[in-house]
Structure 1
Amino acid sequence: MIQEAKLTVEAGYEAIKTDPFPNRRTMGATHYGANMVERMEPKAIADAVEWMEALRETVGPNYEILVDAHARMDVASAIKAANAIEHVDLVWFEEPTHVENHNSLRQIRENTSVPLCVGERHFTRWDYDEILRDRLVDYIMPDIAWCGGISEIRRIASMAETQYIRVSPHDALGPVAIAASFQASIAIPNLYREECLHTWFETFKKIITPMFDIRNGSIFPNGRPGLGIELIPEAIDEFKIDVDSPEAQPGWWNNYITGDTKKSTGAWATADKD
């Protein structure tokens, strides 16, 4: 993790996201996912604090750090965890609990000063209405492939803008979704940052042309029509997987690319509007 963080800083990215909490996979289960409501043991929270302090020491006092809990804690654990790592100075604490019950967010909101974020599991503007209207979070992360595409993500962003809530499009679905997300981000005035798993970029180079123009942590439009990229059809077959394989099961995708079975760290890029 420390080495990944150093490389991320050196590459010019201005923020980093990590998940320092244990999950069923790290405890030997066959899968983990959004169906979990976990009480975090004191040791788990203590380990997370140690992890976050080491990360802060590595990236320095002014670097932006974000934490993702992947919607797997119960409310009490989320409050304890948020308050335990607050001193690390987080940009946000993402998806601390299940997203279906907004009262959970309300309780966490009332018991911590750590900024909150949700969004990748919300679909269309109606899913966001109560969250934005009641300002239950400080940031949202709609996924362009899940929330309804470029038009819908812009509508959602406009709703958030009226509540002074910033937007960071979610990234997990490959280069076409990322390309669409980048295009939308350039036109979102209340953009925070565009999420990108930069460790995937070497793979993306094999299946799209041209590759994204990312320099010093920022992405620049390439002036091409549409999304600005084309798929390389003959390269796609290499990346087909058996839907019955362990790698294709719910929850496994999260760390599959990096092979990290304990904790994952991702970098963030700024969408340059110029």
Structure 2
Amino acid sequence: MRVTAVRQWIVEFGYYNAIYVRIETDDGVEGVAEVAMRRRTRTVSAIVEELGEYLVGKDPTRIEQHSERMYRDSFLGGTLLTIGMSAIDVALWDLNARALGVPVHRLLGGKFRDSVPVYTHARATETPETFAREVADRIAMGFTAIKTTLPGFYTKVSSVHHETPAAIPARQTETELLPNWIWPLLAEYFAAAREVAGPDVHLMLDCHGRLNVANAVRLCEVLEPYHLTFIEEPVPPERPEWLAEVSRRSTTPIASGERWAGPYAAAPFLEQRAVAVAQPDVIFCGGITAAKRIATLAEANAVSIAFHNPFGPLASAATWHLAATLPNLLISESMLTPEQLVFWDRYTDDPPRVSGGEWLVSDEPGLGPRLRIEELVKHPFRPEYDRGGTR
């Protein structure tokens, strides 16, 4: 069996663009994948095209070899490269599993669990009261774990602009002066959320690296009474020692990892115990191959895995097939809003479904979902989604 073509389609996906990839072979077996990088879609597309040129004519069963060569032969690494690698890698796993008529998780060692717990998102909104209503709405949908972005810094955000102006400017750096009112306001938000959620619902906070170390510690102190499951990226994620200091001074677990470009980037954070929760993204870090290595490193350092995954059906399927095999899984992210699910059903047949905050592990061949090419071509790339304007 040899690869004959690697094709891709860029499509609009609500508030960003997604790239769908299909690897074709001379045996007629195909594998598909989905990646996305807001603001750099065309760059990633070019990398996928170049990696696809390398793959044509090769044996698609040599996944480990291709992962190594795509990484080393590129010479310069970084997340943009590993996103392109992810598209190829995930499609190869799908292709190989379909060739054998088995689900991807079977090739990864088989099920450790029969269902994967997932969390969803609630907007921070303009007031604690409206945020509490958002949380109550997600609980009514059956979720028992909910994450939000940093109140005051975010209300409703797209990849293009802040749809509602934030109290803290979008481009304010982590070292600039913060107003004193932000700390009691943060406490009010999570007091309201905890009141409607009760003690058993997991609440999480994503800071997008907006604070310096001192203010991150202050944030952890302010939110300690509300027993968050984790605080994500309280400081910029480039330096493990920054996260390690916050972790040492916080009783709330600290999470990070969505921007890791493979296991070599992840290793210092895990070895230094900079985080209690690792958040690799299967479509950012180099694919299933790289994410599995990161998960193994995390397990060896007693760190839990909470996958970053705010994307669509194939990205979710790839993430959850791997998640089903891991002994150190904590939970996985999902973006299962009604607005996003429209695109899941538009672009794929048999997308993964979540009920009661869990994905029941599928035994369908490959990743499960199949692409609807006729729909992909109807909804092409939208340049305005790649302009930026938020941190």
Q: How far is 1:12 from its partner?
A: 2.2
Match of 1:153 among 291, 313, 318: 291
Q: How far is 1:96 from its partner?
A: 0.5
One-letter amino acid matched to 1:116: I
Q: Distance in 2 between matches of 1:180 and 1:186?
A: 10
CA contact (8 A) 1:167 1:190 kept: yes
Q: Does the alignment pair 1:219 with 2:219?
A: no
Q: How far is 1:36 from its partner?
A: 5.3
Aligned residues: 250
CA contact (8 A) 1:166 1:191 kept: yes
Q: Distance in 2 between matches of 1:30 and 1:42?
A: 15
Match of 2:380 among 231, 235, 240: 240
Counting only pairs closer than 5 Å after superposition, residues 45-194 of structure 1 correspond to structure 2 as 45-194=183-332
Q: CA 1:72–1:8 in 2, change beyond 3 Å: closer, same or farther?
A: same
Q: CA 1:39–1:91 in 2, change beyond 3 Å: closer, same or farther?
A: farther
Q: How far is 1:80 from its partner?
A: 0.8
Q: How far is 1:231 from its partner?
A: 1.6
Counting only pairs closer than 5 Å after superposition, residues 14-29 of structure 1 correspond to structure 2 as 14-23=144-153, 25=162, 26-27=165-166
Q: How far is 1:23 from its partner?
A: 3.0
Q: Distance in 2 between matches of 1:239 and 1:64?
A: 36
TM-score, normalization: structure 2?
Answer: 0.59
Q: Distance in 2 between matches of 1:180 and 1:214?
A: 14
Query: Comparing 132-141 with 219-228, which one deviates more in the overlay?
Result: 219-228
Residue 136 of structure 2: aligned partner = 6
The structure with more radius of gyration: 2
Q: Distance in 2 between matches of 1:140 and 1:99?
A: 12
CA contact (8 A) 2:245 2:274 kept: no
CA contact (8 A) 2:209 2:234 kept: yes
One-letter amino acid matched to 1:68: D
Q: CA 1:239–1:69 in 2, change beyond 3 Å: closer, same or farther?
A: farther
Consecutive unaligned residues of structure 2, counting only runs of 5 or more, are: 1-130, 155-161
Q: Secondary structure at the match of 1:219?
A: strand
Q: Secondary structure at the match of 2:275?
A: coil
Cα deviation digits, residues 139-186 of structure 1 (max 9, x gap) = 011010111111111111011111111101111232221111011111
Q: CA 1:38–1:179 in 2, change beyond 3 Å: closer, same or farther?
A: farther
Same amino acid, percent of matched pairs: 25
Query: Comparing 141-150 with 100-109, which one deviates more in the overlay?
Result: 100-109
Q: Distance in 1 between matches of 2:361 and 2:248?
A: 41
Consecutive unaligned residues of structure 1, counting only runs of 5 or more, are: 255-274
Q: Secondary structure at the match of 1:193?
A: strand
CA contact (8 A) 1:145 1:177 kept: yes
Q: CA 1:238–1:5 in 2, change beyond 3 Å: closer, same or farther?
A: farther
